[in-house]
């Protein structure tokens, strides 16, 4: 599934059941080459563009499999595959991120993950999948070509993509430089003294309320606009997230 994810933006069909896989990341092309057991040489683009590619001829079975998974000839018509579960989707999303995603750090602390692709249908399918399996809040691309996520959603996507890191490293199904683009730890902006006092009081109440109520109800009762803003305040105050909190309480 990792290779499939990387194919959506980088696969180009050719005549006589051939295909080209092109990427600016040479390592990604080499991963695809190895998985296909291809003896073809990875070529550098001779037009002065920073990209690498392999061309393989007469692979009708691969072409048919790709079509069944939504890989139309036109990138604009490609669609996210149906009935993909969370575990398979984890590899597919990471492959697509390595091929076409980026992460940026803004305002000295916040991160944003963005997926760029001209296939609007695919991005809509991806956004729905991430909403259902990862719990992100953004539902639609901003401009038809870019699917960008907030700081909180970006960390959810990170944990989803790299949740089985040991296996990923063993199989070589990731680009270390793309994972390394995420900061090593969450950078939390400083609070004013007034906000610190208000947050302290809220968090002390929250730690008691969470014993009998779920986080969404607690967030609403304490006046937070979204459950994610409550999660950020909780992490800032205690230094750990909700999962660790419940683990300490013996509820996981």
Residues 175 and 90 reside in one and the same domain: yes
Residues 136 and 220 reside in one and the same domain: no
Tens-place pLDDT, residues 136-185: 887 666 667 889 888 888 999 999 999 889 999 998 999 999 999 998 76
What is the structure's pLDDT at 23? 92
Q: Which of 155, 179, 203 is the last residue of a domain?
A: 179
What is the structure's pLDDT at 140? 65
What is the structure's pLDDT at 184? 75
Mean pLDDT of the residues in the chain = 85
Host domain of residue 23: 10-72
Residues 101 and 135 reside in one and the same domain: yes
Residue 33 in any domain: the answer is yes
Residue 213 main-chain phi, psi, to 5 deg:
-135, 155
Among residues 96, 80, 103, 77, the alpha carbon closest in space to that of 187 is found at 103
Residues 108 and 146 reside in one and the same domain: yes
Residue 1 in any domain: the answer is no
The residues, any chain, with a CB within 8 Å of residue 51's CB and separated by 6 or more, are 22, 23, 24, 44, 45
What is the structure's pLDDT at 239? 65
What is the structure's pLDDT at 251? 47
CATH number at residue 132: 3.10.28
Q: Which residue stretches of the chain have pLDDT < 50?
A: 251-252
Q: Which of 179, 212, 230 is the last residue of a domain?
A: 179
| Burial zone of 208 (CB within 10 Å; 0-12 exposed, 13-18 middle, 19+ buried) | exposed
Residue 78 in any domain: the answer is no
Residue 129 in any domain: the answer is yes
Residue 167 in any domain: the answer is yes
How many independent structural domains does the chain possess?
Answer: 3
Residue 115 in any domain: the answer is yes
Q: Which of 179, 210, 237 is the last residue of a domain?
A: 179
Residue 166 in any domain: the answer is yes
Residues 93 and 167 reside in one and the same domain: yes
CATH number at residue 199: 1.10.10
Distance (Å, rounded) from C-alpha 103 to C-alpha 197? 33
Three-class SS of the chain: CHHHHHHHHHEEEECCCEEEEEECCHHHHHHHHHHCCCCCCCEECCCCCCCEEEEECCCHHHHHHHHHCCCCCCHHHCCCCCCCCHHHHHHHHHHHHHHHEEEEEECCCEEEEEEECCCHHHHHHHHHHHHHHCCCCCCCCCCCCEEEECHHHHHHHHHHHCCCHHHHHHHCCCCHHHHCCCCCCCCCCCCCHHHHHHHHHHHHHHHHHCCCCCHHHHHHHCCCCCHHHHHHHHHHHHCCCHHHHHHHCCCC
Residues 168 and 226 reside in one and the same domain: no
């Amino acid at each position: 599934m990792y290779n499939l994810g990387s194919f959506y933006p980088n696969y180009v069909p050719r005549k006589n059941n051939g295909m080209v896989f092109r990427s600016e990341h040479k390592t990604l092309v080499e991963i695809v080459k190895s998985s296909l057991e291809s003896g073809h040489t990875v070529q550098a683009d001779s037009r002065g563009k920073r990209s690498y590619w392999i061309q393989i001829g007469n692979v009708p079975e691969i072409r048919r499999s790709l079509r069944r998974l939504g890989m139309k000839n036109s990138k604009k018509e490609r669609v996210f595959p149906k009935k993909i579960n969370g575990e398979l989707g984890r590899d597919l999303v990471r492959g697509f991120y390595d091929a076409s995603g980026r992460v940026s750090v803004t305002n000295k602390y916040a991160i944003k993950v963005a997926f760029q692709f001209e296939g609007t249908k695919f991005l809509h399918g991806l956004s729905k999948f991430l909403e259902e399996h990862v719990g992100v809040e953004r539902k639609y691309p901003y401009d038809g070509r870019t699917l960008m996520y907030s700081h909180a959603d970006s960390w959810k996507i990170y944990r989803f993509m790299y949740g089985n890191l040991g296996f990923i490293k063993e199989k070589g199904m990731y680009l270390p430089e793309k994972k390394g683009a995420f900061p090593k730890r969450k950078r939390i902006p400083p609070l004013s003294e007034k906000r610190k006092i208000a947050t302290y009081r809220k968090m002390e109440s929250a730690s008691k309320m969470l014993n009998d109520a779920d986080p969404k109800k607690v967030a609403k009762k304490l006046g937070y606009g979204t459950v994610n803003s409550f999660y950020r305040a909780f992490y800032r105050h205690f230094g750990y997230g909700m999962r660790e909190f419940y683990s300490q309480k013996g509820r996981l």
